[in-house]
């Protein structure tokens, strides 16, 4: 199965291993594949156990009961934890308590991530110090641990995490952004810092080659990383291939830079093949030339990064509402919205007597706040009297 995984996998999946008997928990897909390749997989298998020949660690179960932890839930999801000879239930609970976690929070954390009790006090304290270095206070730290316990108790890559935190701080990323990375994109910390440095250098070089200025490069880079840290999970080769694809489609350097900024770097999560298919689909639907297609993509990058099935579904949804292809071509940004959002907004406008088929399709566009502003504006216009009944006729 692992051989079928691609290097572009960027979603933050963590193996639950709830029913596995052969792997250490909290090991990410990317790190697991790397361990298999370099032969260090066995180093992560210290919790391997044959459940059939084991009995529960009585002391572990008793200590968890005293903390009001739902043992049945652990038995159902991660039973193997209870069979380990070495466990640090009291020590883990005490550390969480010292940070300010109450009884309910401690129980919730250990139910969601029972592997936490297998971490030594030294490992947990090292993580505590590292996470605390980018958190405002321990109250925020406890809140993050309660929400994302798996990320906090992943200790196998502590030295890499520490080096990457220092690197991100040196780049100029604020601590609140780095703390968000810990929970939203933990995989970027597990890599050796040299690999993240290489990707950052590739992005900097690319920005300058596309006509960006040294004066603006830092701001551009920090914004890009803040919006899409997953870009660090890509290889420099993938970044270069996608860049070359756009250039072969006759996008100018400034237009490529514009797309990169508008797409928040997510373009590097795609492949040339996927983008090619999406562009062919759009060209066929809108019956346009290569130049017209390029202009449409610049107006609506969704035509580039959305897959054909997604574009097809959204197009059908719009046509079903009586909207023509010409209207969509005129306002392609509507394809950035899901079918459900479009249907909801059309229905809401219709309640005001606004017929989107004969109106401006652009009134559907934008964020939730943008649409609410548009809705209020149309509503106010509809409710405004046609004339002032108390004004003099002359």
For the segment 283-287, the average pLDDT, to the nearest whole number, is: 95
Q: To the nearest 10°, report the CA torsion of 375, 380, 386, 387.
A: -160
For the segment 43-65, the average pLDDT, to the nearest whole number, is: 70
Q: 227 pLDDT exceeds 70?
A: yes
Task: Give the pLDDT of residue 392.
Answer: 53
DSSP string of 15-45, one letter each residue: ---TT-SSS-SS-BHHHHHHHHHHT-GGGG-
DSSP string of 184-203, one letter each residue: H-THHHHS-HHHHHHHHHHH
Question: Which secondary structure element, helix H or strand E, spans residue 141, and what is its range?
Answer: helix 138-147
Q: 56 pLDDT exceeds 70?
A: yes
For the segment 354-359, the average pLDDT, to the nearest whole number, is: 86
Q: 212 pLDDT exceeds 60?
A: yes
Percent pLDDT > 90 in the chain is 69
Task: Give the pLDDT of residue 384.
Answer: 62
For the segment 23-34, the average pLDDT, to the nearest whole number, is: 41
Q: Would you say how long the chain is, in residues?
A: 394
What are the tens digits of pLDDT across the range 197-208?
A: 999 999 999 999
CA distance linking residue 34 with residue 27, whole number of Å:
11
Angle at 131 between CA 70 and CA 106, to 5 degrees: 15
Task: Give the pLDDT of residue 235.
Answer: 84
For the segment 335-343, the average pLDDT, to the nearest whole number, is: 94
Helices 175-184 and 158-171: crossing angle, nearest 10°? 140
Token duo for residue 54: 């084991």
Q: 158 pLDDT exceeds 60?
A: yes
Per DSSP, what are the bridge partners of residue 14? 28
What are the tens digits of pLDDT across the range 97-109?
A: 999 999 999 999 9
Alpha-carbon Rg for the chain in angstroms: 27
CA distance linking residue 320 with residue 181, whole number of Å:
40
Residue 54 pLDDT grade (very low, low, confident, very high; cuts 50, 70, 90) = confident
For the segment 265-292, the average pLDDT, to the nearest whole number, is: 90
For the segment 18-42, the average pLDDT, to the nearest whole number, is: 38
Instruction: Among 110-114, 154-158, 306-310, 384-388, name the one with the lowest average pLDDT.
Output: 384-388
C-beta separation of 145 from 98 below 8 A: no
Percent pLDDT > 70 in the chain is 84
Q: To the nearest 10°, report the CA torsion of 307, 313, 314, 318.
A: 150
C-beta separation of 41 from 33 below 8 A: no
Q: 347 pLDDT exceeds 50?
A: yes
């Amino acid at each position: 199965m692992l051989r079928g995984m691609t290097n572009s996998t960027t979603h933050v999946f963590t193996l639950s291993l709830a029913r596995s008997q052969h792997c250490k928990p909290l090991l990410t897909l990317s790190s697991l594949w790397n361990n298999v390749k370099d032969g260090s997989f066995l180093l992560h298998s210290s919790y391997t156990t044959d459940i059939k020949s084991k009995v529960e660690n009585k002391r572990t179960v008793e200590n968890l009961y005293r903390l009001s932890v739902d043992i049945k839930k652990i038995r159902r999801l991660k039973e193997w934890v209870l069979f380990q000879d070495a466990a640090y239930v009291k020590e883990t609970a005490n550390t969480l308590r010292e940070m300010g976690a109450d009884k309910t929070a401690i129980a919730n954390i250990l139910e969601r991530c029972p592997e936490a009790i297998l971490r030594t006090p030294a490992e947990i304290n090292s993580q505590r110090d590292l996470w605390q270095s980018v958190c405002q206070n321990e109250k925020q730290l406890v809140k993050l641990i309660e929400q994302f316990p798996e990320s906090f108790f992943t200790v196998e890559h502590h030295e890499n995490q520490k080096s990457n935190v220092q690197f991100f701080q040196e780049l100029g990323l604020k601590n609140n952004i780095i703390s968000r990375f810990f929970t939203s994109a933990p995989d970027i910390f597990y890599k050796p810092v040299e690999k993240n440095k290489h990707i950052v250098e590739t992005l900097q070089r690319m920005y300058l080659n596309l006509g960006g200025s040294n004066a603006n490069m830092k701001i551009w880079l920090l914004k890009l990383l803040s919006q899409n840290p997953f870009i660090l999970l890509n290889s420099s080769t993938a970044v270069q291939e996608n860049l070359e694809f756009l250039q072969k489609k006759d996008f100018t350097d400034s237009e490529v830079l514009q797309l990169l900024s508008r797409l928040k770097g997510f373009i590097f999560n795609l492949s040339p093949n996927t983008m090619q298919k999406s562009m062919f689909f759009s060209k066929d639907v809108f019956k346009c030339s290569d130049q017209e297609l390029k202009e449409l993509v610049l107006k609506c990058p969704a035509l580039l990064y959305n897959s054909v099935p997604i574009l097809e579904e959204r197009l059908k949804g719009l046509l079903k509402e009586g909207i023509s292809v010409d209207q969509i071509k005129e306002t392609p940004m509507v394809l950035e919205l899901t079918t459900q959002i479009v249907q909801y907004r059309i229905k809401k406008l219709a309640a005001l007597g606004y017929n989107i088929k004969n109106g401006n399709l652009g009134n559907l566009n934008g964020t939730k706040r943008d649409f609410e502003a548009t809705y209020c504006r149309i509503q106010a216009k509809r409710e405004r009297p046609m004339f002032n009944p108390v004004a003099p006729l002359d």
